Structure 1
């Protein structure tokens, strides 16, 4: 658990600064009445509600991070956001290409299967990404990132019951310019990135980019002594903007492609009592889940990922109404082999091929119905399909046999999703200093899934529809220009579906139902000390019903099968705070804090009895929710020193994350072990991450050049060299495996801008 001194230090840092600011209130002009040209330069403009408004005028728990903040922190990808926003947790899932496990306020989906969608939506240039793969976006060409906490179904659509990470990349500037850099760091990691802009200066612009990064990996093979876990990524594309000066119409087309090749490795955390340990060398079992994670014993494996995409955004200003159309198309092809037993004994090795395609269309209308009443209404359509073919070599004891030869009866899963929705979001300033926000979305999902084997034939098919209306209502009050108080209630919905691992026709055709979250929130946003201090705080309570969880039941060729079913509910409550303080020119101090208290209720599902071998009821209500640390927070400082050649920017940040679990699993058991119910008294301790203190620092020197600048950055990440897992999994008493966070690393970056 988080120690009292550490937690107390965070509370003191937040509350003492905030209280000192409240004692000396400022009386600036109401930013809602200011034009974009006269806004306080410290203000950040966000589009969290599909409108352009300041961060402090948005009655939503939101954290905004712009390009300058990312560059000064030497950020690499979306994973570096962890700790920058309260109650946000991001870890990498090494079983999928650029796959992320995202958790906001304890709501997460830690899997790469495409039969289910994430609980946290990642939206890139207005397009919702329908799977966990492809979410670890490179940060080099980002304009701004907004982290919205809590259900966001009204404006951002289905399957955003945890929240949304809204990413906006830069637009073509319509003028010639170039930004390029090269980096090198530990583990023989190096990257080159470049963005080139061109155009006529008025009506047309084009932007082209190319990013490359590669690494030897920070794991070491325990047999060969060589570095493993390496990767090679290529990302390239172009964006074309037609935006006539003063005209009512604009169009932007972006085409891109991501190619990735990496070495998927797993660390062995199996222990005595699990079946696989009886076949593995003794030194490869009973290892710890900290420093031992970095020595692996995998058989060679490979993963490739190719993902082209296109986005078309059209805008038309009709005077009374603004019309926006966003069309998104994404496709991916994945091939992966992986040694899941993570030992030198060949026990469980898979070969997977997946294809995925999604297409979406959103049409929005925004404007003012009358003075003090604005709206955003629209429609949304989403269509996706995927197929998976998997061959498995189980107890093969021979790494030279192709899994496709060993297992000619491979599993094939095909799935389709079609979704459409209508939504509306409204603001009504019904009284002086008071505003009512309300809206809702009606969503209809249709899903199909077929499960079969190549030789033995079909297992079963599922087809069904799910629909839900998800409302939201909120109210905010501005007693003075520097204070906003708000309260809201919103409902989130995550679609039902069918089980890809079902082993009988009946279970394959039986759907699991949607999840639902009701979230209540109150908060305050304060601008104090003549805009030197911004302090935001929110408290929330969420009721999480019909959780979608994997369940073991009888049936199928092996005697039991794993299906997804709805099991129990959960209650989550918490407090979040963040502040930004600029006490003197050039110095920026930041702090965030997130507290979570989560608890399952009536979480009862089937599983295999440890004594009789029968399927009996297990009660998991005492287990912790996964990826839900009780405390997380960050402290940061950034100082800019003006010099004769340009400026120097120093940045240091500390992120503390208390222990959390990574899988619903079996810890100590009590109750009737033969006949049930079996009481599970917590998760397996091996899937629990110890507390983390992640210290990062960077120093950047900017050099003024004629018409541009050059810059040099030295950086260090995880300077305290914390060794922890970022994913851990136990498999039904058979074996267990994990992956690890990046250890301490140093690097240097050189770049130019014109």
Structure 2
């Protein structure tokens, strides 16, 4: 019902916007003013690189949302999580079990895990470099030129592990003029931030450098239930320098050297309840708590986390006349050390210490050009190599005497790919797009658990992922398109496997076939931009965390296996309207339906019930797949004698969604036969989110410089609830909380 009401609200709003646009069109003076405003900010004229070639958003036959720096600044956006709501069917939440880690889902496709042995389903690409782990993906937005959110499989041009889509982030390039921007902010929970970017011309027109530095710290919005002190705080630094070399008109090279450092306090909110083993040991007031407001009070021992990640990126472009050559080289390293009280209670039951080292290297070579006025191409090759080590020590005091479980893993991944993407304008106003990518992946895993050392295991997968589409453009303002594409996510090993079977037996690759049809158009003399996309995705051999009997060991363990299939379908609508001078209205609606099939697993139904059973999860919902995502945004610019005033109000509605596929181990099940699970454990289901944000910015022109002050409020309705939740085989359950209402002020200076 909420989805229906949201859809009706969207229809009424769209009708109202159409009426406003029509009224403006009918009034010549107003139409001219509105058109002038639309011409300067037209969404369709934004240049995107979604298909590894420069083209306008309106002529790109892909479901894509482009967010530029001005839009991010107007909304007082802080990090990648603020994209949630800016694009339909996109979910981004922060993982508190890893540094700068993000759970990203597009169109219901996600894999929420920080373990380095697993690949993401949505690729986060920064300056052309794919980040191979969810750690480090929670990106700062201060120095951003543009963000492109590509929905649906992007296997042809962006490769494996993009079956859900791609978030393509481009940072600003160094400028050949002395300029920059400085910013300082203060907000709720003693949150401080300072940011600076400076452009320095070294050799006029030839070499420019851009040093940058970001700092953000906060006391955290959790309250320690025993001491009453604030907890969950963090301190983040991101600094580096970018150098742009342009020795000639046909060659440029951009080198970025940077480092990210984060220290934070990981906390878990206890959501265990009667029937789970840990509640027999924990104080009574720490069990059976609610999954909304109670999440902000925690009882566990504060953990510590330190994360360092240096990175180097080099992009080179050579315009050789008929062909443009591009090379993108990326190297990223990270070292993490984290302790965490996973039971989330004042009783010392389950405390973990993890040390991880990760490094990745990637190299992409592309050639782009035209064979004729009607045929263009992009072809290339890609190489990716990563390696990680994990040392985990877990203190378990559930039974006497206490024990220390030890686990060591070494993992290695290598990927090689060749790809091509082609456009053929085969008839007037008609264009055929087609291409494909061949990928070969090899993964290795070597594990030691306590005194048991398991042999090195390896697996090789290869896949060809094609794409074909057609579009029709009756004029420069309208386009209709349809496409079919196949996405592929490589198989591998469960890095947390604790037995010979689970540590050496690989899970297989998963694939998705996606069918999409869409419309893009500029209506009413560019007063209204409207994009509509409908899709159907068939998802096969799902990789899912499942609890299975510990073959050759004791009890059960949670590892990744291939289970069943799924079908997802949905409708996405985006609009941007300019009904009056200075006023921009925008919004999006995503409607999503998912259907799991043949999701059969073997596992224990409770830690207190011996043995394993056949469990059918086919009736539950996929994770991070809300049925409705709705956003509405109004931005108004008012010119003044001293500069301008910018007002921005945004509303986001997200219907409930599940955060884990899990049975309720405290429920009662039949003694024999297959157990059919009607729904996931209610504690891992989020509540409805209605998020209201607002900001007011005053800009003052000081000659060639600009000073600004922004006051902002986020989550003004103080909508509280879970950010992530997990239940562990009838032993205990834990969660984390999303950001409550916050206020702040930003002071900035541009020169």
Work out whether the TM-score is over 0.5.
Answer: yes
1:381 and 1:421 in contact (8 A); partners too: yes
Alignment of 1:692 with 2:695, yes or no, is no
Q: In the TM superposition, what is the alpha-carbon distance from 1:238 to its structure 2 partner?
A: 0.1
Query: 5 Å matches for 1:668-747?
Result: 673-747=670-744
Aligned counterparts of 2:596 and 2:405: Cα–Cα separation in 1: 39
1:2 and 1:691 in contact (8 A); partners too: no
Query: 5 Å matches for 1:505-654?
Result: 505-551=500-546, 552-610=548-606, 613-654=610-651
* Cα distance change, pair 615–554 in 1 and its aligned pair in 2 (3 A): farther
Q: Secondary structure at the match of 1:138?
A: coil
Aligned counterparts of 1:424 and 1:676: Cα–Cα separation in 2: 51
Cα offsets for 1:250-271 (capped at 9, x unmatched): 1111000000000000100000
Q: 1:473 aligns with which of 460, 468, 471?
A: 468
Query: 5 Å matches for 1:4-403?
Result: 4-14=4-14, 17=17, 41-42=41-42, 43-199=45-201, 200-244=203-247, 247-395=249-397
Aligned counterparts of 1:571 and 1:211: Cα–Cα separation in 2: 42
1:652 and 1:698 in contact (8 A); partners too: yes
2:666 and 2:730 in contact (8 A); partners too: no
2:388 and 2:411 in contact (8 A); partners too: yes
Aligned counterparts of 1:448 and 1:283: Cα–Cα separation in 2: 46
* Cα distance change, pair 24–514 in 1 and its aligned pair in 2 (3 A): farther
2:605 and 2:665 in contact (8 A); partners too: no
Aligned counterparts of 1:533 and 1:180: Cα–Cα separation in 2: 34
TM-score norm. by structure 2 comes to: 0.95
Aligned length: 735
Equivalent in the alignment of 1:748: 745
Q: 2:445 aligns with which of 443, 446, 449?
A: 449
Aligned counterparts of 1:623 and 1:5: Cα–Cα separation in 2: 24
1:459 and 1:503 in contact (8 A); partners too: no
Cα offsets for 1:207-252 (capped at 9, x unmatched): 00010010000000000000000000011000010013x5211111
Aligned counterparts of 2:729 and 2:520: Cα–Cα separation in 1: 47
1:24 and 1:528 in contact (8 A); partners too: no
* Cα distance change, pair 525–262 in 1 and its aligned pair in 2 (3 A): same
* Cα distance change, pair 617–347 in 1 and its aligned pair in 2 (3 A): same
Q: Secondary structure at the match of 1:305?
A: strand
Q: In the TM superposition, what is the alpha-carbon distance from 1:686 to its structure 2 partner?
A: 0.6
Aligned counterparts of 1:499 and 1:218: Cα–Cα separation in 2: 33
Q: Secondary structure at the match of 1:507?
A: helix
Cα offsets for 1:458-480 (capped at 9, x unmatched): 13432010000000000000122
Q: Secondary structure at the match of 2:529?
A: strand
Equivalent in the alignment of 1:33: none
Aligned counterparts of 1:226 and 1:397: Cα–Cα separation in 2: 31
2:471 and 2:482 in contact (8 A); partners too: yes
1:668 and 1:682 in contact (8 A); partners too: no
Equivalent in the alignment of 1:500: 495
Q: In the TM superposition, what is the alpha-carbon distance from 1:22 to its structure 2 partner?
A: 9.3
Cα offsets for 1:348-390 (capped at 9, x unmatched): 0000000000000000000001111000000000000001000
Equivalent in the alignment of 1:418: 414
Aligned counterparts of 2:721 and 2:501: Cα–Cα separation in 1: 41
Aligned counterparts of 1:266 and 1:586: Cα–Cα separation in 2: 45
* Cα distance change, pair 330–381 in 1 and its aligned pair in 2 (3 A): same
Q: Which moved more, 1:39-48 or 1:592-601?
A: 39-48
Alignment of 1:665 with 2:662, yes or no, is yes
* Cα distance change, pair 612–697 in 1 and its aligned pair in 2 (3 A): closer
Cα offsets for 1:686-729 (capped at 9, x unmatched): 11111111000000000001221000000000000000111000
Equivalent in the alignment of 2:30: none
Aligned counterparts of 1:408 and 1:700: Cα–Cα separation in 2: 54
Aligned counterparts of 2:326 and 2:432: Cα–Cα separation in 1: 24
Cα offsets for 1:569-608 (capped at 9, x unmatched): 0000000000000111110000100000001000001111
Aligned counterparts of 1:379 and 1:97: Cα–Cα separation in 2: 31
Cα offsets for 1:645-674 (capped at 9, x unmatched): 000000000000001110001149999744
* Cα distance change, pair 120–110 in 1 and its aligned pair in 2 (3 A): same
* Cα distance change, pair 152–18 in 1 and its aligned pair in 2 (3 A): farther
Q: Secondary structure at the match of 1:69?
A: helix
Name structure 2 gaps, 5 residues minimum: 27-37
Aligned counterparts of 1:114 and 1:640: Cα–Cα separation in 2: 45
1:627 and 1:661 in contact (8 A); partners too: yes
Q: 1:458 aligns with which of 445, 453, 460?
A: 453
* Cα distance change, pair 22–700 in 1 and its aligned pair in 2 (3 A): closer
2:396 and 2:404 in contact (8 A); partners too: no
Aligned counterparts of 1:356 and 1:420: Cα–Cα separation in 2: 19
* Cα distance change, pair 670–261 in 1 and its aligned pair in 2 (3 A): closer
1:409 and 1:456 in contact (8 A); partners too: no
2:276 and 2:665 in contact (8 A); partners too: no
Cα offsets for 1:503-551 (capped at 9, x unmatched): 3323322211100000000000010111111000000000000001223
